[in-house]
Amino acid sequence: MFSDDTVQQLSMAMWLNQSSTDDFILLGIFSYSPRDLLLFSVVMLVFTAALFGNVLLILLICTDPRLHTPMYFFLSQLSLMDIMLVCTNVPKMAVNFLSGKKSISFIGCGIQIGLFVCLVGSEGLLLGLMAYDRYVAISHPLRYPVLMNQKVCLQIIGSSWAFGIADGLVQMVVVMTFPYCSLREVDHFFCEMLSLLKLACVDTSLFEKVVFFCCIFMLLFPFSIIVASYTRILGTVLHMHSAKSQKKALATCSSHMTAVSFFYGAAMFIYLRPRQYRTPSQDKMVSIFYTVLTPMLNPLIYSLRNRDVIGALQKGLDRCRVGSQP
């Protein structure tokens, strides 16, 4: 009889052997027609803008003392998640398109699944908890420094990351342990889990149902926090006697609500639709929206109407001008 350690070593050896010989083919989203070449160029411009905008926002938050508040701390983490999200899928998509090679290794596919699920889950929960931050700031402004102290902020960030990492690891391990048939063509531009499960040689319906209910929880639990928080915020705003205060409170929430609408709208469209209504072409287009476009829009949404961020940017530009003068 083999010992437990021997069995584990044999299992790992078999997994590594499978990973070294069996690649997947990503069919992608673009052909080489003039229209698709133009669309590819647009996606790469959006990708570059997403990287630049989120990196700039993180630098501004780190370097300007006026932005050292809970809201901007959460926003810096959101930008970090967006940077990691666009870098998980887009570079590989671009390399495959430009080189004409559409393959991705077994291990690379597993890493993409784990990172993607982790980051989407973490970002969704963080957006929900950011709504609670806005509720405390508007409904309990005097107690805000106490209720949103450093310990609470770290707990919010830590729970968001932990939730996403745990979910990503579990789903990655389960999906990559399924046996896959010889035809390994994934009808997507990255290793999207549901697209990959279609290639499994075994019945995955039970796991897909579990994933569906997990998606409901991952999306509706943070969304319920958002709805509850904004319901309370609306009640507080309606009881304000100053029209200026009402306008300021609504302006504070509008940026967050816009980001929430983009993220949750796209995610719910993909993962909460019944299977019979899903089509690969629709899934790929919507995936482009919330894996590339939304990370690009988030820095714009949170900065264009934010005097603190614009002030920090102007201050940084002034420093650059002074430093460049002889």
CATH of the domain at 235: 1.20.1070.10
* pLDDT given for residue 326 in this prediction: 56
Look at residue 82 and tell me if it is in a domain: yes
Question: Per-residue DSSP letters for 65-97?
Answer: GGG-SHHHHHHHHHHHHHHHHHHHHHHHHHHHH
Q: What percent of the chain has pLDDT over 70?
A: 90
Domain count along the chain: 1
Look at residue 19 and tell me if it is in a domain: no
Look at residue 249 and tell me if it is in a domain: yes
Look at residue 241 and tell me if it is in a domain: yes
The residue among 123, 103, 113, 136 whose CA lies nearest residue 28 is 103
Look at residue 183 and tell me if it is in a domain: yes
22 pLDDT band (50/70/90 cuts)? confident
Residues 50-95: tens digit of each pLDDT? 999 999 999 989 988 888 899 899 999 999 999 999 999 999 999 9
* pLDDT given for residue 15 in this prediction: 47
Least confident of 26-40, 88-102, 130-144, 237-251: 237-251
Burial class (CB within 10 angstroms; exposed 0-12, middle 13-18, buried 19+) of 53: buried
Structural domain boundaries enclosing 93: 30-304
How much is the pTM? 0.86
Residues 277-314: tens digit of each pLDDT? 778 888 888 888 888 888 988 888 877 667 778 777 77
Look at residue 232 and tell me if it is in a domain: yes
Helix (H) or strand (E) holding 311: helix 307-324
Look at residue 62 and tell me if it is in a domain: yes
- Res. 11: pLDDT tops 80: no
Look at residue 315 and tell me if it is in a domain: no
* pLDDT given for residue 19 in this prediction: 47
- In this structure, what are the phi and psi dihedrals at residue 278, rounded to the nearest 5 degrees? -90, 135
- Return d(Cα 140, Cα 30) in angstroms, integer: 50
Question: What average pLDDT does the chain have?
Answer: 84
